[in-house]
Structure 1
Amino acid sequence: MDEMIATTAEAHEASALPRIHEVHTDPNQTAACEETLPKALKKSSGAKSPARFAYERIIMYIRNFEKALDNAHEVAMGFTGGDAGVIRIEGMGYFDPDLVTFYGSDATGAKTQLIQHVTQLNVLLRALPKHIDQEAPRRIGFKLAKELEESVETPTDATT
């Protein structure tokens, strides 16, 4: 008898844990969450707002996207459903219970911020050449993921 029997509580908790499934034509392409997840992402989504849950998962996708970039490119976000263009992602946040925001600059260097409701959330990640005057590309996904790994699962009132 190799089958594991779960209590109702364990089954309910398991159903709320984040899961990911991806299939790629490129065998070198890995799923966004295949590597070790930060503790914040291993917890049930039941205690998190939709905004925080979306924020944390998008960070994993950004970090994975950046892993495939060379030193001449940085991650940017294209807007879906319009001609608004692309912003270089320089920051990201959420406002409980249902808003996610992206901070950055557009192709002309103008300061840009996108505020998106989680029910309307579409993110198109793009590779843009880094600024010529920069020695190395800025990797926002790795910085955001590090913050997740170091964060305690308690909400904060301060913004960074």
Structure 2
Amino acid sequence: MTDEIFTTADALEASILPCARVVHSDPNMPATAEQQPLPAAVSKKPVDQKSPAEWAYERLILYIRNFEGQLDTKHEIAMGFAGGDAGVLRIEGLGYFDPDMITFYGRDDDGAKTQLVQHVTQLNVMLRAIPRAEPDTPPRRIGFRLAKDWDEPPAPGRDSAV
């Protein structure tokens, strides 16, 4: 027996996590992350065996990769902050720390190193397309780097690829 309290709300949330749905007013809208099949590496481990941080991290990667796939070469992905004047973070990295923390690494509008550590229950992310910081270099696509190990066998121990 475990000392963990599992509420009705927890049970309800756990029962709907693997589900996804989206409806757009434009029938020609490009496919969204909710409409894509989960990569095999993501669906291999049942959702009820993942921490809230791991499951949030994996879905964020899907959203980031899908968003970046729709950007032209003049733009990169950034993240806006809801409910404050913190500005925008140009996403350079994403991580999680079980059981419930998500971390965003990047730079703000002025190029200052920035890190956001957020509890999964407070997760509220707005993805934004912003002009590239260095227009003469190819765009950096973090979503595809984040997902690269989904097609490779996992390394033993803590993952530190990003």
TM-score, shorter chain, exceeding 0.5: yes
**C-alpha spacing 1:132/1:149, structure 2 compared with 1 (3 Å):** same
Moved over 3 A (4+): none
Three-state SS of the structure 2 residue aligned to 1:51 is helix
Aligned residue-pair number:
145
Can you give the 5+ residue segments of structure 1 that lack an aligned partner in the other structure? 1-14
Q: 1:159 matched to which residue of 2?
A: 160
CA distance in 2, matches of 1:98, 1:79: 19
Give the TM-score, by structure 1 length. 0.82
Amino acid at match of 1:30: A
Which of the numbers 92, 95, 102 marks the counterpart of 1:93? 95
Give the TM-score, by structure 2 length. 0.81
Q: 1:47 matched to which residue of 2?
A: 49
The answer (yes or no) to whether the contact 2:22–2:35 under 8 Å persists in 1 is no
Q: Deviation per CA, 1:119-139: give whole Å up to 9, x if none.
A: 111111001111235421100
**C-alpha spacing 1:134/1:113, structure 2 compared with 1 (3 Å):** farther
Three-state SS of the structure 1 residue aligned to 2:35 is coil
Q: Deviation per CA, 1:52-76: give whole Å up to 9, x if none.
A: 0000001000011111110000000
**C-alpha spacing 1:69/1:99, structure 2 compared with 1 (3 Å):** same
CA shift, 1:37, in A, is 2.2
CA distance in 1, matches of 2:17, 2:129: 31
**C-alpha spacing 1:59/1:68, structure 2 compared with 1 (3 Å):** same
* Aligned Cα root-mean-square deviation (Å): 2.0
Three-state SS of the structure 1 residue aligned to 2:33 is coil
Three-state SS of the structure 1 residue aligned to 2:104 is strand
